Structure 1
Amino acid sequence: MRIMLVEDDLPLAEALTALLVQSGHAVDAVHDGASAEALAAAERFDLVILDLNLPEMDGLSVLRALRARSDEAAVMILTARGAPEDRVRGLNLGADDYLTKPFDVAEFEARVRSLLRRQAGLRRAILTLGEVTFDLTSRRFFTPQGGIDLPARELALLELLFTRAGKVVSKETIVQSLTSLDDSLSDNAIEQYVSRLRRRLAPYGVALRTARGIGYFIEAPASP
């Protein structure tokens, strides 16, 4: 999933970026409100993590601009401002969650997972296709033989396809979801990831198919 982190505390921004990237997310970090507004207007994000006390343009103004454009990205406000009136104002302006600093890292990660699950339209925490099960809480895949250990980029791709099972996911969507502005992802790299995942999944009744010229989709073929 693609995330924009808006945080002017540089050490905190670097730590959160590293944490999210390690979990397989593509992260663009900006450090002032004006840059956040410009980037959100130009790019699509699944989640925006937004500080309120920002230079150039405060976080609530960024949030107001997002919702005025009908931007459907989930928004988590992450701020030191914890007064009830601040929470109410942020939520009324369209934030989906509100977490105050200092915060517990495990809780932060759990809230990110919950928002991204909701953003994908998923109500259940466990998805099953063929003999493969995906636990959205731990973001791990399992087979009857145990867990499937995947590199972060392959995990992110399989998660994207699995949560949209039966639907074609375009190459453009894959690139947008898996890369930040500082990354690149060639068609050849995507094909290599798909090839490796296809071999891993085939023994468990899950097919990763190519929609030629468009993208890829995943399904459990019906038994003959």
Structure 2
Amino acid sequence: MKLLLVEDNTTMQATLSRAFERRGIQVVTCDDGERALAVWRDTQPDAVLLDLSLPGKDGLEVLAQARGGGLKTPVIILTARGTVGDRILGLNTGADDYLPKPFDLDELEARVRALVRRAGDADAAPAAWCGMAVDRESGAVYHLGQPLELPPRELALLRAVLARPGHAIAKERLFELVFPGEPDVQPEAIEVVAYRLRKKIAHTGAQLVTLRGLGYLIKAQP
């Protein structure tokens, strides 16, 4: 699991980073509201811990811009602003949870894992990644608001890798998703679909990478 911690208090940032990493959770940190959105998009975290009082740009503004830009990552607001009005404002802006400071670390970890679990159960692809987003109702993939014209098998492969950008997905699992219920198709056929898809998404800024012995992943072009 990867966690983005947006917190300008250096002591709090260091304490939370050490605590989560000891618990097997990777932590990316950012201490500035102006940079937070770019770091969020670049790292594609599984969850975001967002302080409200940030230099450069308020946490609520960061959250509003993230949601407006299609980022659906679960967000927990961590702040000393503990009034009911602040909580309502944060939740209405797009936060998934709200934990006032000071808080119990075990409770925070439990809330993070619960949010990530729910997001995984929903099987939602990260929206607007490299300009691409999956319409969950139709299954179509859009790039910068325009549908990508792809054959069904290439579309199925793209949806699968977009569900976890930057993470390897086993070739066997992709084969099941691209060729469901087709026992006569050879496993190597997934390589042909990947080859065709790689060329057709090159203009989006995304790159389909083959990992020998592991499978495939999608990442932003260098």
Tell me the TM-score normalized by structure 2: 0.56
Contact 2:168 2:215 in 1 (8 A): no
Shift, 1:109, TM fit: 1.3
- Report the counterpart of residue 66 of structure 1 in structure 2: 66
Runs of 4+ more than 4 Å apart: 167-171
Between the aligned partners of 1:170 and 1:87, the Cα distance in structure 2 is 30
Shift, 1:27, TM fit: 1.2
Q: Evaluate the alpha carbon distance shift between residue 40 and residue 172 of structure 1 in structure 2; reply closer, same or farther with a 3 A threshold.
A: closer
Residue 24 of structure 1: SS of its match in structure 2? Answer: coil
Between the aligned partners of 1:11 and 1:174, the Cα distance in structure 2 is 34
Which structure 2 residues correspond to residues 31-42 of structure 1 after superposition, within 5 A? 31-42=31-42
Residue 37 of structure 1: SS of its match in structure 2? Answer: helix
Q: Evaluate the alpha carbon distance shift between residue 118 and residue 55 of structure 1 in structure 2; reply closer, same or farther with a 3 A threshold.
A: same
- Report the counterpart of residue 47 of structure 2 in structure 1: 47
- Report the counterpart of residue 2 of structure 1 in structure 2: 2
Between the aligned partners of 2:32 and 2:80, the Cα distance in structure 1 is 16
Extract unaligned runs of 5+ from structure 2. Answer: 123-159, 170-189, 192-209, 217-222
Shift, 1:38, TM fit: 1.9
Match of 1:172, as an amino acid? G
Indicate the percent of aligned positions where both proteins have the same amino acid. Answer: 41
- Report the counterpart of residue 114 of structure 1 in structure 2: 114
Residue 52 of structure 2: SS of its match in structure 1? Answer: coil
Contact 1:20 1:27 in 2 (8 A): yes
> Over residues 72-130 of structure 1, what are the superposed CA-to-partner deviations in whole Å (9 max), with x where a residue is unaligned?
100000000010010001000110000000111111111111111112117xxxxxxxx
Q: CA RMSD in A?
A: 2.7
Match of 1:115, as an amino acid? L
Matched, 1:173 2:176: no
- Report the counterpart of residue 26 of structure 2 in structure 1: 26
Greater length-normalized contact order (CA 8 Å, ≥ 6 residues apart):
1
Shift, 1:32, TM fit: 1.2
Tell me the TM-score normalized by structure 1: 0.56
Match of 2:106, as an amino acid? A
Between the aligned partners of 1:174 and 1:53, the Cα distance in structure 2 is 36
Extract unaligned runs of 5+ from structure 1. Answer: 123-166, 176-210, 218-224
Q: Evaluate the alpha carbon distance shift between residue 65 and residue 171 of structure 1 in structure 2; reply closer, same or farther with a 3 A threshold.
A: closer
- Choose 9-18 or 39-48, whichever is displaced more: 39-48
Between the aligned partners of 2:6 and 2:83, the Cα distance in structure 1 is 20
Between the aligned partners of 2:31 and 2:164, the Cα distance in structure 1 is 31
- Report the counterpart of residue 94 of structure 1 in structure 2: 94
Between the aligned partners of 1:37 and 1:171, the Cα distance in structure 2 is 17
